[in-house]
Homo-oligomer: A and B are copies of this chain.
Amino acid sequence: MKSYRKELWFNVPSRRDFVNITPEVEEALRESGVQEGLCLVNAMHITASVFINDNEAGLLSDWERWLEELAPEKPYSQYAHNNTGEDNADAHLKRTLMGREVVVAVTKGQLDFGPWERIFYAEFDGRRRKRALVKIIGE
Contacts and interface: CB of A to CB of B under 8 A. Distances in A.
Interface of A: 1, 3, 5, 36-38, 40, 42-46, 51-54, 56-59, 61-63, 66, 70-71, 79-84, 89, 92-93, 95-105, 107, 112-117, 131, 133, 135, 137-139
A79 to B, nearest CB: 5
Each complex incorporates copies of this chain amounting to 3
A96 B51 contact: yes
The main secondary structure of chain A at its interface with chain B is mixed
Given A96-B51, A112-B135, A139-B1, A59 B80 contact: yes
Given A44-B114, A114-B44, A139-B3, A79 B107 contact: no
Given A38-B38, A81-B56, A116-B46, A51 B100 contact: yes
28 contacts: A1-B1, A1-B139, A3-B138, A3-B139, A5-B105, A5-B107, A38-B38, A38-B135, A40-B103, A40-B105, A44-B114, A45-B114, A45-B115, A51-B100, A53-B92, A53-B95, A53-B96, A57-B80, A58-B79, A58-B82, A61-B80, A63-B96, A96-B99, A100-B102, A101-B103, A105-B133, A137-B137, A137-B138
